Amino acid sequence: MILIGYVSSGGRSIFELAVALITLGPLIYGGIYIINDIFDYKLDGKNIEKLKRPIASNQLSLKQAKFIAFPLICVGFFSAFFLSKNFFLLSLLILTNNFMYSVYPRIKDIIYLDIISNSLNYVLRYLAGAILIGLSSKILFCSMIIFLIAFLNFLCFRLREYKTSGKNSKIIFERINIHRIKYYFSLTQVLYIITLIYSYYKFSPTFEWIILFLIVSNIFLIGKFILANEGIAFDHMVNPLWTMRQNPIYIFFSFLYYIEFLLLLFLFSSYKDINIYSLIN
């Protein structure tokens, strides 16, 4: 998302982009993920997908994990401040959102708020890349599109996780209603398509890019939801591509994921900036 935000906003400095990616990637997010695992190590021990993680499997003690996490975050914020004050503030928002998700008030245990929080992380990462160049009306609208895409993906992820891990792996699963997830997915899908069509009339992107993106993204999202409903995971984070080579369905959807990413980059880059007040006219 940082890459899309930076490049689609006109950023061309490889050094600046590399520093931003390292800052939010292995540094700040590296620390955030470790903190999340510290607070979830008991639940992760019951989750078939997470029980082999270093903390959950006792390969790494809680004390060692804390010793790694906090220096990573501190170095990350020093680097963020070096890039720009706005990037630093967005990094702080990302840390706050993730802290509230994992620690207090532990949003991950509040149904649907956990999906909103995760979706906001994608928006904030996109804005972190874009803000290095400057904010504009198209960037704010692109943030809405990213939020809807992320929300749809996390609905699929929660559905698949519920189907494969069972109710005991997370507190929130005790309150999940499968039919409501399907309803929210359909509603958000319609809103997503309407938003993309509206963006075509307001921001005048290249027609071919928006049509291609509409087709690819909807095939990907609907396919992912169908597989999630069957308890099948093809996420690149859960099943790396090299472990899927014997299954053509996994390979197909994995490539769709990367094609969708590239199309989103080209689409956002083709958006023309407009006066923010014309968005409602």
Q: Are residues 168 and 153 in the same domain?
A: yes
Closest CA to 118 of 172, 72, 58: 172
Q: Which pTM was predicted?
A: 0.86
pLDDT of residue 63: 81
CB-based burial label for 180 (10 Å; 0-12, 13-18, 19+): exposed
Looking at the fold, whether 176 and 59 belong to one and the same domain comes out as no
CATH classification of the domain holding 79: 1.10.357.140
63 shares its domain with 108: yes
**Which of 134, 157, 185 lies at the terminal end of a domain, its last residue?**
134
Is there a single domain that holds both residue 112 and residue 12? yes
Rounded Cα–Cα distance for residues 77 and 42 (Å): 29
Rounded Cα distance between 113 and 119, Å, is: 10
Question: Which residue stretches of the chain have pLDDT < 70?
Answer: 41, 43-51, 164-176, 233-248, 274-281
Q: Structure tokens of 88?
A: 């630093």
Q: Tell me the pLDDT tens digit for each residue of 249-258.
A: 777 777 888 8
Q: Are residues 189 and 263 in the same domain?
A: yes
CA 254/CA 234 separation, integer angstroms: 7
87: left (phi over 0), alpha (psi -120 to 50) or beta: alpha
Structure confidence at residue 240 (pLDDT):
47
State how many domains the chain has: 2
Q: Tell me what pLDDT residue 19 has.
A: 92
The pLDDT value given to residue 190: 93
pLDDT of residue 227: 82
Question: Looking at 134, 162, 188, which one is the last position of a domain?
Answer: 134
Residues 144 and 96 in one domain: no
| Residues 146, 18 share a domain | no
Structural domain containing residue 263: 136-281
Element (DSSP H or E) covering residue 215: helix 207-229
pLDDT tens, residue by residue, 169-222 = 455 555 667 788 888 899 999 999 998 888 888 877 778 888 889 888 988 888
Which of the 8 DSSP states describes residue 110?
Answer: S
* Predicted pLDDT of residue 274: 64
